[in-house]
Structure 1
């Protein structure tokens, strides 16, 4: 068969005009796909665009031409062809063919001394008298390939086997078998439309719906089941599973990491912990979000971060821990909001690495980090009584939930839900245990203690790479801290910068009034920011409320928590108002112990607490600048004499010399002292 035909070759065929000119006119009218024939001006037309009746005529002509062609094939080629065809036989067909071939070979050996007819008669007589050799006796029944009781040899059968062998080789001895009918019935599409749904209906439910919609073409349910059994699992489950779940039934490619060195590729992902922990801020149960950074070559967990949800702050926190082990070349992550953002991308670019995102709905490509969640965090969660995973017993989980909430309401604490400090201690233990446990994805070596072969642990794989001469690229801590600080462009006014609801002050910014500067902030410390010019030159550190008398900064994490709580409460109120149709107001509850006291008991407890509480002197700052300067001298004298200051006094004493009033008043006092002298 050819794929292209000229108008001269097509003229006169069924479905086409009788002349080449009319064929060209028809091709131009119906816009057939054509190309110029090499070495000629003739136009060839594709086989696919021809009418169906013309295609059938061309196929029939090619078959007739193939049958009439005489081909001379050597004996070696025949044997090779038989081997290829025999390899396509089933095991049942191959066993029958081998048994029949044993009798053919036996006749050929006997024919060297006697005639072929006498050899056949001798075999038949020996079979009837049960005097065949044990080898041939075992193959009589299999060679006959019958289901009846009579399975002896006959002259006619042996001659037929000889004729088939001499005509077609050993493949001619194989019995024919009925192949499965893989044709698609006419009702298949209608039934599959009822069966292949995400709700995963049973065969009976889908058949009932199909029978109501198509009563005329309804087969029996047994025919439907046999049809479904013929389909592959992938075809049968298409439509019943999402494309992501369907990949569990499809072939895949394994990624080898043997050619990688440590720090070549870091991969990271977030995981919602499958157990409840007491929130350190609210005291209420919640499920922490754990962000893990894994080194692909050694499977070592190099960085973790704990938060309430996957966020840029959590990713930056985990990435900072990971970079203390070495600078990475590639950062392989998913498309989550915590990774696919400009802040993380800027830090990766400044470090000289490359961030690569996996394809959507393709979590199988990041199997290393997904499996680490099961190994580390799911197993850790199952050690806690507050585990709420899918395989947790329903009644036991409900009982733990009810008892834990009751203890929290009555006493403010519970023995069933771990505190955050207990959880963090467990996190450190699990990470250390994982990094020191053998990993089946790593190479094997002989244990120096036991002398047995086993897989390396992540720490051992890391040490082995270092022993081979690999060295990590470690950046200075100052540079590392600077690079891991996100940067934003902010305007400055009169030495102040506003960011995240806080005001930062730096006296050196007076020269940049009204201009934009580059500001870097630390996700763990909101008391200061680092100010640079747009060209990147460092100006200095701006302190929160640096030009105010006192302040109480909030960390970036606390700001994120408050924003999250506010959004959750607003959404809860909106949902209640939608359900009830009435206005709902949120009232902050009192603490659990005091909520159980009566009004008289509460008043008495408050009065006793006021009497018992030690009277701590408060630090009051004078409003007069001169009095503030004298107060600073008093505090300085106390420090010089070795006396300790409280935190408020220490903080104000260290910051007040940066205030403009300090220098002017000091100069005034020094001038007065010189004048009196």
Structure 2
């Protein structure tokens, strides 16, 4: 006992935790004992604690006899060195900073002993010398040498750490663990009851079952010590709260470029709007696409509901103006997961995935689709822009009286007193989005106080931009099938508008498909057959005011242009006129009759017994032949005696046509018969031949 224990100075907390005989088990009671026995008044037996937190330490000789014997026994018990190298360093990492510092001091003491020993002094004398110089007990130095015996010099520090600093704090002791379990089970519920109410209910159970009831402060300390914060959040707030408790991921955008990734989502405005065709005011929805790198809003469209058609058109606006993006971060809503947008993408969260799906707009353009985590606003940076628009658009002074509040419990006093016309609402939204993009002072990791426009324009100038072809531009227009062309001219009708082009006679009476912009029906239709082949563009035929003379003139001018173009095309199609075809037929002579081969077998058909017998005489046959010869001779004489008329004279026909053309040019009226004859003759090869001769040699005298 003369050498004493390994540790000579003890704080009140350490003595309480040591579990020594005849010693209290709490820090407060140890301090009470020290005050009663006047430990601080004993010279050299107390000192100021040097560790963090301060306090007083007492020498071990102040303890009761049995406590001192227990400490001495612990010191004399050999410490088993069973800790491996990796475990020792792991323990060193878990130790407190004070324990790690103390281990370094012990290592320095051992190094000093070994230096003196190398100089020629024995280890025993060296230990005594260092102990006297440093004020450390020689027994402690010998214990430290025992800990590092057989340990490499580089690993000594890990073995010299005080292992008591690694001991986890034990849970506070309570009088009855069964009672605490009842309180804990009642407390860990999603309804979130207070601990006081749970304690009171447990008291009623304990009185019935005869359990000991500890004070509530002990139960509260026990629950705090035994239940971790994540477990408490899971039981009382749910999985979503536990997900939010986990630190969010910081994603770096500094290495990106504009259009490397765009993000899309829907937002419903808290404003009543009068939408055309809707009986009651509605809260319109806006689909927005923004650039992830810069934060700039690139395209947006309004509609009554969230639908894939509006998404398709907004994507078209983005691609038409800025180019084809590389990636698209999309919300998991049905409007984005529709096959028209993302068909063929293998990771859609919605709808059945089929290998035979027709690729949607984004896969057809080579855009990689990235789905945002459902119900996770942190994965969609565009939510920050929506918060800005909620304040600057929904609460705009032009919409006063139309603001609905962001929840049924937050309705303003003037709720429902106004509804904004759609065009006025659209104009304010466009103005605020432009201001949103141009506002300086942005604090993202790529903005550095600049505006979204400045960041986007700087990166856009050096980025590789892919442009859509004319065929790809039609992919994002809405598609409608089953339109039937008018049986007369192929005209199409859609949403009260008429569409027609000169080529559409080919689809007269046929069913076709068309693509169009629902927000710009006057832009016309792109017409396809049902197999998907492109046929052509059909302009919109806008209705004109009933009394508009200018509109009537414009329509007549277009019709005359169509008629002239058709005439020119018709002339080019006819190589020969009807007179020339007839002349060539006459020159070809009578058609050659087919010569039948002589039948080798002749079957005699017997006369029917009741058939009448022919009574024709030879005289009758001779008279018929003579009559036919006389008729033929008469026809020949008449034809030779008749002079040829102007219609049989090619030059006469051309002169007649020239006279009629002069009348038409001077504005003289012509009969319908003259107009038809002239239009028919002008298409003949005879007319074209005489016209070429006249242009070449001039008018004959």
TM-score by length of 1: 0.52
Tell me the equivalent position of 1:328: 325
Which of 365, 371, 383 is residue 370 of structure 1 equivalent to?
383
In structure 2, the residue matched to 1:316 is 312
Q: Which runs of no fewer than 5 residues in structure 1 stay unpaired?
A: 1-69, 124-135, 137-152, 445-453, 553-617, 621-634, 640-644
CA distance in 2, matches of 1:91, 1:107: 25
1:424 aligns with 2:423: no
Contact 1:234 1:250 in 2 (8 A): no
Match among 457, 463, 467 for residue 474 of structure 1: 467
Q: Tell me the distance in 1 between the aligned counterparts of 2:673 and 2:179.
A: 108
Give the superposition deviation at 1:257.
Answer: 3.4
Cα separation, 2, equivalents of 1:294 and 1:391: 26
Distance 1:651 1:211 in 2: 95
Find the partner of 2:440 among 424, 427, 437.
Answer: 437
Q: Does the 8 Å contact 1:486/1:520 carry over to 2?
A: yes
Distance in structure 2 (CA, Å) of the matches to 1:242 and 1:502: 55
Tell me the residue number matched to 2:533: 537
Instruction: Tell me by how many angstroms 1:236 deviates.
Output: 1.8
Secondary structure of the 1:235 match is helix
Q: Which residue of 1 aligns with 2:168?
A: 179
| CA deviation profile, 1:150-199 (whole Å, cap 9, x unmatched) | xxx7xxx7234223311224544626144134799878887666445544
Contact residue 484 and residue 511 of structure 2 kept, 8 A: yes
| Residue 459 (structure 2) aligned to one of 451, 454, 465 | 465
The whole-number CA distance in structure 2 between the counterparts of 1:279 and 1:100 is 82
Measured in 2, the distance between the counterparts of 1:652 and 1:229 equals 89
SS in 2 for 1:356: strand
What displacement does 1:293 show?
A: 0.8
Map Cα deviations across residues 412-449 of structure 1 (whole Å, 9 max, x no partner): x8xxx8996367335434434435535444447xxxxx
Q: 1:71 to 1:338 in 2, by over 3 A?
A: same
SS at match of 1:475: coil
Distance 1:189 1:289, change over 3 A: farther
Quote the RMSD (CA, aligned, Å): 5.2
Structure 1 residue 371 displacement after superposition: 2.6
Contact 1:329 1:353 in 2 (8 A): yes
Listed as ranges, the matches of 1:633-644 within 5 Å are 638-639=549-550
Q: Deviation at 1:334? A: 1.4
The answer to whether the 8 A contact 2:190-2:238 is kept is yes
**1:319-347 CA deviation, whole Å, 9 max, x = no partner?**
23311111112222012122111232332
Q: Deviations over 1:334-370 (max 9, x none)?
A: 121221112323322333323332343344332x222
Counterpart position of 1:338: 335
How far residue 304 of structure 1 moved from its aligned partner, in angstroms, is 1.9
> What is the DSSP-based 3-state SS (H/G/I as helix, E as strand, rest coil) of the residue aligned with 1:176?
helix
In structure 1, the residue corresponding to 2:315 is in which secondary structure? helix
Question: Is the CA contact (8 Å cut-off) linking 1:120 and 1:158 kept in structure 2?
Answer: no
Match of 1:350 in 2: 364
The alignment of Structure 1 onto Structure 2 pairs a total of residues equal to 449
Q: Deviation per CA, 1:388-409: give whole Å up to 9, x if none.
A: 66699x8xx65xx324655x5x
Taking structure 2 as the reference length, the TM-score comes to 0.51
Distance in 1, Cα, partners of 2:557 & 2:139: 111
Q: 1:458 deviation in Å?
A: 3.3
**Alignment partners' CA distance in 2, 1:524 and 1:294:** 21
Q: Which moved more, 1:504-513 or 1:487-496?
A: 504-513
- Kindly indicate whether residue 512 of structure 2 is the aligned counterpart of residue 517 of structure 1: yes
Query: Corresponding residue for 2:145?
Result: 166
Q: Pick from 387, 402, 414 the counterpart of residue 413 of structure 2.
A: 402
Once residues 92 and 120 of structure 1 are traced to their aligned partners in structure 2, the CA distance between those partners, rounded to angstroms, is 22
For the residues of structure 2 that align with 1:240 and 1:365, how far apart are their CA atoms?
25
Matched residue, 1:674: 675
SS at match of 2:164: coil
Confirm or deny: 8 A CA contact 2:296 2:453 kept in the other structure. Answer: yes
Which residue of 299, 302, 307 maps to 2:298?
302
- Write the distance in 2 (CA, Å) between the matches of 1:347 and 1:199: 46
SS of corresponding position for 1:338 = helix
Tell me how far 1:295 sits from its aligned partner. 1.6
Note closer, same or farther for the CA distance 1:269–1:239 as it changes in structure 2 (3 Å cut): farther
Matches within 5 A, 1:636-675: 638-639=549-550, 671=672, 674=675
Aligned equivalents of 1:423, 1:492: Cα separation in 2? 35
Alignment of 1:240-259 (within 5 A): 240-259=236-255
Q: For residues 600-650 of structure 1, give each alpha carbon's deviation from its aligned partner in whole angstroms, at most 9, with x where no partner exists.
A: xxxxxxxxxxxxxxxxxx838xxxxxxxxxxxxxx7xx54xxxxx5xxx68
Distance in 1 separating the partners of 2:454 and 2:180? 57
Judging changes above 3 Å, is the alpha-carbon distance between structure 1 residues 672 and 180 closer, same or farther for their aligned structure 2 residues? farther
1:86 equivalent to 2:92? Answer yes
Q: Between Structure 1 and Structure 2, whose CA radius of gyration is higher?
A: 2
Secondary structure, in 3 states, of the residue corresponding to 1:266? strand
